[in-house]
Chain A
Amino acid sequence: MTSIKLKLKESDVQQLKKVAKSFNNEPGELINVLHKAQEIFGYLPAEVQEVVAQELNVSVAKVYGVVTFYSFFTMLPRGRYPISICTGTACYVRGAEKVLDEFKRLLKVPVGETTPDGKFSITCLRCVGACGLAPVVMVGDKTYGRVTTDGVKDILKEYEDVE
């Protein structure tokens, strides 16, 4: 555990150490530490997991086990505009699958991946609880309700000129 290949900047490592310390370097706080780490870095690459393991004095395998167990944690960077399609039951029976297919077709990436320019990523999530608006799509924090297959290109268009 002594020889971490430092791809992370020293300042990043320090920041992670601070996070771990704020939870008293308690192994039982692993999930809370990972939540914070993901908030900072946007995702949890192996290097981040190694630092967390070292700081909480648990094995890297354990950290990896926890990261991969929970769907909220991701080891891949998300797009600048992460698209999440709700595939809860209410959205499913109101056509979420067709909406998802349309996003995949237009962006030419499968679920879980990011477009080559790093702009959009597609993920599915289970129920945001806005079932009255089914099917629901979220882009970042913004919620789109009653999305139709036709509406998909309009949603993407909103982000065309923002950069």
Chain B
Amino acid sequence: MHMLVCGGTGCRASASDMLYENLSKEVQEQGLQEDVQVVTTGCFGFCEKGPIVKVIPDNTFYVSVEPGDAREIVAEHAVKGRRVERLLYVDPVNKEQIADSKGMGFYKKQIRIALRNCGLIDPENIDEYLAADGYEAMGKVLSELSPEEATQEMIDSGLRGRGGGGFPTGIKWQIASKVPADQKYVVCNADEGDPGAFMDRSILEGDPHSVLEAMVINGYCIGATKGLIYIRAEYPLAINRLKIAIKQAREYGLLGKDILGSGFDFDVEIRYGAGAFVCGEETALIHSMEGERGEPTFKPPFPAQSGYLGKPTNVNNVETFANVPVIYNKGAKWFASIGTEKSKGTKVFALAGKINNVGLIEVPMGITLREVIFEIGGGIKDGKKFRAVQTGGPSGGCLTEKHLDTPIDFDNLLAVGSMMGSGGMIVMDEDDCMVSVAKFYLDFTVEESCGKCSPCRVGNKRLYELLDKITKGQANKEDLDNLRNLSMVIRDTSLCGLGQTSPNPVLSTMDNFMEEYLSHVEDQRCPAGSCKELIRYEIIPENCVGCTACARNCPVNCISGERKQLHTIDQSLCIKCNACLEKCKFNAVAII
């Protein structure tokens, strides 16, 4: 029997490491070391109910497990063969207990290719990766295929870059392979800066060898012998697991000189980012690896022609690489059979926000937003109404009800004014003000703009100021026109992808939620009740019972009233902290 304990960052934050220790200790105390193996794995994806423990072979899926539950799991499940019912997942809709993860709505529609090993193998043990067909693709490519044949297989698969741009991976490799040079580089972009997206981190934490294997294949195809992984310093666990993986792969002769006796040399080094969103852009990333400020430069020349240290460089993102070994193992044809006409395979999304099942999912291209949000995601939290879904992070847009049945792929998302991006998917409900959301993203862009070109540096700041004016009820209709015009200018004149896409959150919310902008401007009203300057808290006399809860919790003592008497709020002192509304049990505080 195997007990798989999630060791991803999310579950670690909920003490899954202590849980692992307790389980191991219990197994020892019961003398079950021979029969029960406790294993730390990568992310299962179902972060909402972490920490997760999965028991195989019977596939029992325990959720929200605490370190103190270890004794019961071992005593009941391992010794007596009985499931611990209270730790099983309960379907939020029909209230049924589900023991086997395959029966959960969250997993039913998923196809896991990039995440195939996450939550299944111990990422710190190369033998487990090898047992899961690991390094088989590399062996096949190095011994049976020429670099041209291997590149052609990648082109035939139709895989497109998963970092955001969606450029065909095989074509990118082919371009780099044709540039003659004494030294070329393969770079893995693990600078995941998109707030709300954590797929690359999860892959590196859960299955680091798949990325290393793909980099070797990539090196063989383009004629590079050096690989660099550019990773955020904010991801200590992923860095640690990568280091272990590189060491193990070297010991097994899967990295280094003359790999598997093929005569091909390839080795990998880690480079650290230092927190700059723009470094996700490949030219900026390369400058950062060279020890410079991470400012992008104009393309062409493309990195494939002149990249790291002026040498031809192929940059792919973590998720793209994680797909590569499977394509060689199962064939380009198989991969191309999944997905839509122009977007093949699957995409990993980080589903978060006001949704029941927050987590990491991998779905075939062409699935609809409705399926993702309401079937996999289990619908909106607290039974509220769906408002919008934001895809593509700060470069993407907010999509609404009318887009729910759009099949998700690179081109469809672009057509409706958003983009795939790296795969963040944030769901918003009726309480979220779309103007504030646009302002939130602009705040991010202003902070992360590298400052090199003025449309992005100055323009985004002005966009932010306009949005700020709107959320404070100080804007007029002319400001709305300026907002749109300025957005277009920034989009058309910025140097790199960051500036070219930064107005997307503004434009898409203006397109889809214009009435909300108008309420702010014409009526000085925030329909979602979230813009502080445009709302006030009032006590509803017929509901107030005079329990004093609001007055006791008001941090500025602006609520007065005797026990069992109607309370009142002094508007001149109120800081709109929402404490009274949260504390009132009688629905007697309302936002007007």
Contacts and interface: CB of A to CB of B under 8 A. Distances in A.
Q: Is the interface of A mostly helix, strand, loop or mixed?
A: helix
Contacts of B359: 132
B196 A88 contact: yes
Contacts of B288: 31
Contacts of B555: 105
Interface residues of A, number: 40
B291 interface: yes
Given A126-B444, A127-B197, A149-B579, A132 B353 contact: no
Interface string A77-97: 000000000011110111000
Interface in A107-129: 125-129
B196 A128 contact: no
Most buried by A among B309, B353, B437: B353
B274 to A, nearest CB: 3
Given A32-B272, A145-B13, A134 B358 contact: yes
B66 to A, nearest CB: 13
Given A69-B276, A132-B10, A127 B293 contact: no
A136 interface: yes
Interface in B276-312: 276-277, 288, 290-294, 309
A30 interface: yes
Interface string A134-163: 101000000101000100000000000000
Contact of B426 (A31, A90, A143, A145): A90
Contact of B274 (A71, A101, A128, A134): A71
Contacts of A136: 13
Contacts of B273: 70, 72
Most buried by B among A66, A87, A92, A128: A92
Given A89-B390, A94-B354, A134-B352, A129 B198 contact: yes
Contacts of A132: 10, 47-50, 352, 358-359
A130 interface: yes
Given A93-B353, A94-B353, A131-B10, A70 B47 contact: no
Contacts of B440: 89, 92
Given A72-B275, A101-B577, A132-B47, A89 B9 contact: no
Given A89-B393, A128-B9, A73 B201 contact: no
A106 to B, nearest CB: 9
B577 A133 contact: no
Interface string B555-589: 10000000000000000000001110010000000
Contacts of A134: 352, 358
Contact of B195 (A28, A70, A89, A98): A89
B424 interface: yes
Interface in B427-446: 428, 432, 437, 440-441, 444
A37 to B, nearest CB: 12
B450 interface: yes
Contacts of B293: 65-66, 69
A125 B198 CA distance: 14
Contacts of A70: 273-276, 294
A69 B294 contact: yes
A101 B202 CA distance: 30
Contacts of A128: 9, 234
B424 A98 contact: no
B233 interface: yes
Contacts of B290: 28
B291 A89 contact: no
B198 A98 contact: no
A62 B409 CA distance: 42
Contacts of B196: 88-90, 127, 131
A53 B293 CA distance: 15
B199 to A, nearest CB: 9
B13 A133 contact: yes
A34 B275 CA distance: 13
A45 interface: no
A33 B350 CA distance: 33
5 contacts: A30-B292, A66-B293, A93-B426, A93-B428, A105-B555
Interface of A: 26-32, 34-35, 65-66, 69-73, 87-90, 92-94, 98, 101, 105, 125-134, 136, 143, 145, 149
Given A105-B555, A132-B49, 11 more contacts: A31-B272, A31-B274, A65-B293, A66-B293, A70-B274, A73-B274, A93-B428, A130-B13, A131-B10, A132-B50, A132-B359
List 8 tightest A-B contacts by C-beta distance, closest first: A132-B47, A129-B198, A88-B195, A70-B274, A90-B352, A143-B13, A30-B291, A72-B275
